[in-house]
Structure 1
Amino acid sequence: MWSGPRNLSTALMYAFAARGDCTVWDEPFYAAYLAATGIDHPMRAEIIAAHDPDPASVALACAAPTDQPLFYQKHMTVHMIPQFDRAFMRSLTNVFLIRHPARVVASYAKKREGPTLADIGFVQQADLFDEVCQWLGHAPLVIDSAEIRADPARALAGLCAALGISWTENMLHWPAGGHAADGVWAPHWYGAVHRSTGFEAAEGPFPVLSADYQRLSDQALPFYERLAAYRLRP
């Protein structure tokens, strides 16, 4: 599952974990991305110390089987930098999770001020989408977080059907307090989802953004709209 940050990605990981037949992995390449780029993120040192910073070994683990029938990987598009080998992706079913950039920018800025277009992942998501299209000869699956929030059962049942896996209502609920698979960064980023026991209600009007943040949202919008044209329709 490829998304930018603040895309409902953690809640969707929890939904798959709640199935009972699925191993989940939280942002496999985060430590490798930080180590390779030198970028300053909250808890940078702790992330690199606690998680594998070698992109080659992470890729091997992504392509390896687990002890469960399903293996859900929550990937951030910003982590898949050009120098990382993407060959492992060809052994996976790649799905793209999207969210309107106005909502992403508003949410991200609460956790890390001054985001740039590179930080929020829309350009990288479109590039990965195009690459997977070339491999497959057709568009991969795209699902919009707004449609999950509006009707989780319908949206997730549709996603499961498109993936050729069973649907279970277990995906609608999870225990509060986080998951054992959470990355070490969870205390900084996952406060709201840790308090949750299921998907929140449908989102309201778009947030009002400052001029700078509105420009950022406008820059990201064409990339969002390109993928949104392919999204699953519940």
Structure 2
Amino acid sequence: MNKMVGLWAHPRSRSTVLERVFIERGDFEVFHEPFAHMAFSEASAIPSDEWDHSAPTTYQGIKAQLLEAKGRGNVFHKDMCYHCLDDLKVDREFLAQQHNIFIIREPASSIVSHYRVHPDMPLQAIGHKALYEIFCVVTELTGNVPYVINADDLAAEPERIIRSLCDYLHIEFLPHAMTWKRECPPQWKTWRRWHVAAENSERIVCSDPQQVDMDMLERSPKLKDLYEYHRPFYARMNAFCR
């Protein structure tokens, strides 16, 4: 039976570099933030690049696209819960048809990284609260705590984390998927400017100057407010990291 893996994330959580591992595997059809097309258009204020006008733009259309792909092979899709929160919260049938995994990153780093690309980001776009809401829905649905990855652990020990994830998903660990050429996969072109570091990487690396991020938060009341609002949701999920 074909697998569908849903990687639920918040922005700037290193979810894209984890997605790159699944692109390199070659045994999954990979979708990059498909639900973003219901949340945004080419005219939206959020920075975007080469807009894919062929992509479905409704929740039902995007879901149908993913399920159709699952019918022909393994599927990996990565998305932000805030893109489709209201629909996703009540669509337990869809959630039950996939392996739901979650990735979180300390909000000081994710907020500062987000701010550098999109300074006018709204509160909900930080994403930790929406991510936690879906984490709770999946916990209730399955009766088990979902699989949670801390992005700092992924960066520090990528092979250990990816091996553990493969074991959880009952798929083979493929060493060749841990390295790649510096290039922009087709899936990323709409949001290319968000993934400059990932595009120019050759593997998962650790490069967080977290104290610099905290210093920046302290100097900005807006960023500090965003941090204080979202960090409790991060802390709750972090208690369950593998």
TM-score, normalisation: structure 2 = 0.86
Give the whole-Å Cα distance in 1 for the aligned partners of 2:151 and 2:239.
14
Give the whole-Å Cα distance in 2 for the aligned partners of 1:83 and 1:136.
18
Q: State the partner residue of 2:3.
A: none
1:157 to 140, 158, 163: 163
Aligned residues of 1:78 and 1:124 also touching (Cα < 8 A) = yes
The 3 A distance-change label for structure 1 pair 80 and 197 is same
4+ runs deviating over 6 angstroms: none
Tell me if 1:139 matches 2:145.
Answer: yes
The residue correspondences of 1:1-234 to structure 2 (distance < 5 A) are: 1-34=7-40, 40-43=45-48, 47=51, 49-64=53-68, 65=70, 67-68=72-73, 70-83=74-87, 86=91, 87-186=93-192, 188-201=193-206, 203-206=208-211, 207=213, 208=215, 209=217, 210-232=220-242
Give the whole-Å Cα distance in 1 for the aligned partners of 2:52 and 2:98.
25
Shift of 1:178: 1.4
Shift of 1:211: 2.9
Shift of 1:74: 0.7
Shift of 1:23: 1.3
Gaps of 5+ in 1: none
Aligned residues of 1:32 and 1:55 also touching (Cα < 8 A) = yes
Give the whole-Å Cα distance in 2 for the aligned partners of 1:42 and 1:90.
33
Q: In the alignment, residue 194 of structure 1 is paired with which amino acid?
A: E
Give the whole-Å Cα distance in 2 for the aligned partners of 1:184 and 1:202.
25
What root-mean-square deviation, in Å, do the aligned CA atoms of Structure 1 and Structure 2 show? 2.0
Give the whole-Å Cα distance in 1 for the aligned partners of 2:96 and 2:11.
23
Shift of 1:83: 4.0
Give the whole-Å Cα distance in 1 for the aligned partners of 2:183 and 2:55.
21
Matched positions, count: 227
Give the whole-Å Cα distance in 2 for the aligned partners of 1:112 and 1:136.
36
Q: In the alignment, residue 199 of structure 1 is paired with which amino acid?
A: I
Aligned residues of 1:33 and 1:81 also touching (Cα < 8 A) = no
Aligned residues of 1:116 and 1:216 also touching (Cα < 8 A) = no
Q: In the alignment, residue 222 of structure 1 is paired with which amino acid?
A: P
Shift of 1:225: 0.7
TM-score, normalisation: structure 1 = 0.89
Q: In the alignment, residue 111 of structure 2 is paired with which amino acid?
A: V
Shift of 1:66: 5.4
Higher helix share: 2
Give the whole-Å Cα distance in 2 for the aligned partners of 1:39 and 1:82.
20
Q: In the alignment, residue 215 of structure 1 is paired with which amino acid?
A: D
Paired residue secondary structure (1:94): strand
For structure 1, which segment, 141-150 or 161-170, has the greater mean C-alpha deviation from structure 2 after superposition? Answer: 161-170
The share of aligned pairs that are identical, in percent, is: 25
Gaps of 5+ in 2: 1-6
